[in-house]
Amino acid sequence: MRGPHNIWRLIRTGATFERTGAMKIALEGLDTPPRLRALARIVGWPFKWLGYRGDLSQPPVTRALTALGPAYIKFGQVLSTRPDVVGDELAQQLRVLQDKLPPFPTEIAKATVSHELGVPVDDLFSEFSEPVAAASIAQVHRARVAGTGEDVAVKVLRPEIERAFRRDIDAFHFAAGLIEALLPGTRRLRPTDVIKHFEGVVMGELDLRLESAAASEFRANTEQDEGFQVPEPYWNLSSREVLTLGWAEGIPLGEVKAIQAAGHDSVALSERVLQLFLSHALRDGYFHADMHQGNLKVAPNGDIVAYDFGIMGHIDEYTRRVYAEILIGFIRRDYRRVAEVHFEAGYVPRDRDVDEFARALRAVGEPIFGMDATRISMARLLSYLFEVTERFGMQTRTELILLQRTMVVVEGVARSLNPNINIWQVAKPVVERYIRENIGPKALVRDLIRTAQVVSRFGPRLPQLAEALLIRQTEEAKPAEKPSKLRALALVGLGAGLAGLAMTAVYWF
């Protein structure tokens, strides 16, 4: 399907932005160079009549993205958390995309619930409200469970949503391939792999059984986190297209004035949301990867309540350690160590100069530490970071896309609550705690024990492995050569020693 027909889709994308008036606002919000703005307007103007009109009651950019489809809406949701990147006016327009999109009829939602769960809605719920929130993929209804009277949130997928997403993603794949073919310099950014990663994330979000599992796992991981709640999933009331969670009462995190009027400390909340994200990412390696204001509330007791677990991120233990060392290096302004970690992890090609890379990182980090938070231009910072990655041949790491994207979103949420937040000071205790527990003598001993335990499981097979090695050497050896029994004996001895170490470690630890 990724054929030339997608050119038409891309043309309509630009034409829709031009027709709705979103082109000018978007280019200005993103601080695009004047020449590029002029070129975009000149190219887009002749095709203006081909664009979608959209909902005339909505602001221009929101109107354009909602007319184009769910994948575009997802992109807008990310930008809505970053007024420092797109400007206050554009961010405010995009915030509508989080949970205030036009809903589909309640009767269709009820029919979906009945079909998916195999029982009439009235037998399952004594009450079933009109939509209380509607986003790009699904909408939510407040309901009361029949018999128990428990308040729940019932999430129902939009009709034909999977087909719509596949159409958009198909066009994105075509665009990525076109960019790589016409602009070879962009290949290091791996646009095709990035879109493939995005596709995997989105398609997983369209199966609400996976979201039920994610909610359950995330709730178990965070039960002991002070000031944080995750609603309980109802497995018997959930399926592929329906998800039922406990009702989360509270004020949406995007309504800052309402939060302050209710007596909550917005500064403390800004710090907590950032520290919670870092704690989940580093401690658990499993984090909420869609933490915009539309998916967070402040409970009456001041707790932060998270919901909508369609996009969750996972990073392995090695990557967590690399990420933590990079963060702590920036926090301590040890740019040489940050550079070394990038080289050790293979993020920067070995033929580049580590000292030169360290100086480039200093140029990124120092302005952040030397400037008031309200004066930091994240747009300019991201622009310079892009220049640095290009200069040093760094390729996009698809395994870190969700982590990096979520960090950007969470920082935006924190800044909306407290524009003066210093993200490095707030992050420092969480990162330092992780470093103490996972990078050092204690962690080394733990890693050795794990290694020994793994090797010990192969202990009974070591004699057979040694014999097989001897036989293969005998068959392959030249007439003048003799197989080395010493090598085989050493292998057996090493295996026995590691097995003994494992048993001793298990006994003592």
Run of H or E including 336: helix 335-344
Tokens representing 420? 């003066």
Q: What are phi and psi of 304, to 5 degrees?
A: -90, 130
User: 298: which DSSP letter?
Assistant: E
User: 233: which DSSP letter?
Assistant: B
Number of residues written out for the chain: 509
Give the Cα separation of 425 and 327 in Å (integer).
11
Asked if 307 and 153 touch (Cβ cutoff 8 Å), the reply is yes
Q: What are phi and psi of 227, to 5 degrees?
A: 75, 25
User: 21: which DSSP letter?
Assistant: T
Number of H helices, E strands in the chain: 24, 10
Give the Cα separation of 58 and 96 in Å (integer).
9
Q: What is the dihedral of CA 377, 382, 388, 392, to 10 degrees?
A: 170
Give the Cα separation of 288 and 310 in Å (integer).
9
Tokens representing 218? 């995330």
Asked if 250 and 299 touch (Cβ cutoff 8 Å), the reply is yes
Question: Look-up: residue for tokens 């204690």?
Answer: 442
- Which residue out of 170, 290, 303, 308 is catalytically annotated? 290
Partnered with residue 252 across adjacent β-strands are 297
Asked if 211 and 226 touch (Cβ cutoff 8 Å), the reply is no
353 catalytic? Reply is: no
Asked if 231 and 305 touch (Cβ cutoff 8 Å), the reply is yes
Strands 228-229 and 304-306: parallel
SS3 of residue 154 by DSSP = strand
Q: Cα–Cα distances in Å, from 182 out to 186, 188, 290, 303, 464?
A: 9, 14, 32, 50, 56
Q: What are phi and psi of 356, to 5 degrees?
A: -65, -40
Q: Cα–Cα distances in Å, from 369 out to 82, 161, 423, 486, 488?
A: 20, 44, 10, 59, 58
Question: Look-up: residue for tokens 């140029």?
Answer: 363
Report which of 188, 191, 197 is spatially closest to residue 179, judged by C-alpha positions. Answer: 191
CB within 8 Å of 333: residues ≥ 6 apart: 365, 366, 369
Residues annotated catalytic, as ranges: 290
